[in-house]
Structure 1
């Protein structure tokens, strides 16, 4: 029977801005166990009166050497019997806002930054959990360049201008960052997506979906972070609506299963494979190679046939253009292959 564990976000369980395979586990689980886990908004300093609670405030005060990436990472979780090459599944069972406010940034790294004179703007969003929506509450001009993680803008130090236009967005709670610890030693910056997961920012990693990745070290070292209230494909201005989220995940270990280079998302009706590159062309190419390899292996069919069907029905989406290395995911409709038998080695 699966055990249920709880991981609170605090100075012992959270890291800021990088991944490191030397981290000590914060928890050990067996395959099938469930973990209630808290993920925090790394933009909480944009409105600390609304986005801080006591734990978040303590984390901001504790981590003074924030000199790498932006992201707050909760983990790692040691998975019993996991070995390099095994497949780890992170299934989201539930997600709820930790608080009803989030932050969205028109950032200097956003796609249209030059068109906005590289001026940076903050929008604070409010959540209506009963209606399952979020909407912009107020905005302000950022008073200095955003050039370091975890900057704090105190209330009263800027002019908060109410947003009077009645815009509503559906809640889209998801983890932008998740995966397992890397094989490579040393600190690895949290900004870019990686083959072990990292900051891949697929908005479809929501309740009811499963992320698959290969363990790279013994015990895998599962983590989550970079939680969002909403995000569009592309994450155009540099961020989604960043918000702290309390989630429930199930961690499953799969032996003798084959994956290729990058993570795979099972989003229900689709398989979603990922590609990364410094241009969208390169990212799309890698996603296409991953898609052909995955489907041809899964169903023991020719790569030529897969290539044909993907051209007819494979949907390539821009995952994000905000993370230095760009991301593209290919959504593969399961229905198209329903009459074929899956390979036992496939996830």
Structure 2
């Protein structure tokens, strides 16, 4: 009897275990010259082709084509940024795109954030008042750039004497291709995800993005070592990632029209709009839709529950489209 049970267990393991052709881990490391610095489009040739379920371990490079550096002055950075914009080049240096076999328009791409290893240094900055960039464009006559250095274990940053920050690395930008025919700036968030700057998307969380073109064409950039909700000065601790490990799963059973995220403790809905009030309304609508769809609540019940238990936070206020995200606690559901 025991032998039969062991034999059955062994056969079950062999049948359920992924074969050699399934669920691979793919390394993909780039130099700054290999980064993609253009607009978001649906016709960018893929840099890597993977299968549904595969994991990719990759790196990212600094902003400004990989050239942003703590050795720069603010004027150096501004000159480089101005030059790139005059040439029509985006200031984001993307790793990708990744073509995921099996992803079709109408599907959802599930992006599981497994691991992030930040780099050794970072930069934060503010722009002068006359540029009208940031959440408080007043009282700063000159631009400012501050170099930041991570501790050897990459766990902290000494911002100033007596001021130590715990790192909480995340990708500021994770995007799939927009709809065919559209060309979008890389600094804008939207239905394709993009530059969400959502500090909740750390390792251990999952992002769900609606797919708009065959293969999804996923790209990542804008590495942040740490950021507060709002990102009010326009910059987080802008860094690079030595390694990011993401797993990609094509979901045929999940139909979304807007990005959704999941942490071990919360469901996270999002809204983006150039008007912060409208972004808030969008996030509330997304929360109501989620609670009706997933939890079977009426519209009235869902809206009431949003007021009682959902925390709505300002994601960022500094890009063309501002963001609000709603934190729906899993603990309230039995």
TM-score, length-scaled by structure 2: 0.84
**1:316 corresponds to which residue?**
312
* Distance (whole Å) between structure 2 residues aligned to residue 104 and residue 189 of structure 1: 21
* Distance (whole Å) between structure 2 residues aligned to residue 288 and residue 9 of structure 1: 39
Do the aligned partners of residues 314 and 234 (structure 1) sit closer, same or farther apart at CA in structure 2, a change above 3 Å counting? same
Once the 2 structures are TM-superposed, how far is the Cα of residue 49 of structure 1 from its aligned partner? 5.1
**2:290 corresponds to which residue?**
294
- Partner residue of 1:105 out of 106, 125, 130: 125
Unaligned runs of 5+ in 1: 51-59, 137-162, 340-347
For residues 229-261 of structure 1, the C-alpha deviation after alignment (integer angstroms, 9 at most, x for no partner) is 0111000101100000121110111112122x3
C-alpha root-mean-square deviation of aligned residues, in Å? 2.0
- Partner residue of 1:327 out of 314, 323, 328: 323
**1:279 corresponds to which residue?**
275
Once the 2 structures are TM-superposed, how far is the Cα of residue 112 of structure 1 from its aligned partner? 1.5
For residues 253-297 of structure 1, the C-alpha deviation after alignment (integer angstroms, 9 at most, x for no partner) is 1112122x3211112200111001222211100000011011111
Write out aligned runs for 1:47-62 (5 A): 47=69
Once the 2 structures are TM-superposed, how far is the Cα of residue 13 of structure 1 from its aligned partner? 4.5
**1:195 corresponds to which residue?**
191
* Distance (whole Å) between structure 2 residues aligned to residue 20 and residue 66 of structure 1: 18
Once the 2 structures are TM-superposed, how far is the Cα of residue 90 of structure 1 from its aligned partner? 1.0
* SS of corresponding position for 1:128: coil
Do the aligned partners of residues 199 and 106 (structure 1) sit closer, same or farther apart at CA in structure 2, a change above 3 Å counting? same
Q: Is the Cα–Cα contact under 8 Å of residues 20 and 188 in structure 1 kept in the other structure?
A: yes
Q: Is the Cα–Cα contact under 8 Å of residues 32 and 61 in structure 2 kept in the other structure?
A: no
Larger Rg: 2
For residues 179-227 of structure 1, the C-alpha deviation after alignment (integer angstroms, 9 at most, x for no partner) is 2111132532112111111101101111111110011001111111111
**1:116 corresponds to which residue?**
140
**1:248 corresponds to which residue?**
245
* Distance (whole Å) between structure 1 residues aligned to residue 300 and residue 90 of structure 2: 41
- Partner residue of 2:150 out of 112, 127, 138: 127
Do the aligned partners of residues 66 and 210 (structure 1) sit closer, same or farther apart at CA in structure 2, a change above 3 Å counting? farther
Q: Is the Cα–Cα contact under 8 Å of residues 118 and 154 in structure 2 kept in the other structure?
A: no
Write out aligned runs for 1:178-257 (5 A): 178-245=174-241, 246-257=243-254
Once the 2 structures are TM-superposed, how far is the Cα of residue 171 of structure 1 from its aligned partner? 0.4
* SS of corresponding position for 1:213: strand
Do the aligned partners of residues 203 and 78 (structure 1) sit closer, same or farther apart at CA in structure 2, a change above 3 Å counting? same
Once the 2 structures are TM-superposed, how far is the Cα of residue 135 of structure 1 from its aligned partner? 2.4
Q: Is the Cα–Cα contact under 8 Å of residues 201 and 320 in structure 1 kept in the other structure?
A: yes
For residues 283-329 of structure 1, the C-alpha deviation after alignment (integer angstroms, 9 at most, x for no partner) is 10000001101111112221111111110011000000111211000
For residues 84-109 of structure 1, the C-alpha deviation after alignment (integer angstroms, 9 at most, x for no partner) is 010101111111123x1100011241
* Distance (whole Å) between structure 1 residues aligned to residue 310 and residue 298 of structure 2: 16
* Distance (whole Å) between structure 1 residues aligned to residue 216 and residue 285 of structure 2: 25
* SS of corresponding position for 1:328: strand
Determine whether 1:23 maps to 2:47: no
**1:86 corresponds to which residue?**
107
| Structure with greater proportional helix content | 2
Once the 2 structures are TM-superposed, how far is the Cα of residue 16 of structure 1 from its aligned partner? 1.1
TM-score, length-scaled by structure 1: 0.81
- Partner residue of 2:263 out of 262, 267, 277: 267
Q: Is the Cα–Cα contact under 8 Å of residues 320 and 327 in structure 1 kept in the other structure?
A: yes
Q: Which runs of 4+ in 1 moved over 6 A?
A: none
Do the aligned partners of residues 105 and 64 (structure 1) sit closer, same or farther apart at CA in structure 2, a change above 3 Å counting? closer
| Structure with greater proportional strand content | 1
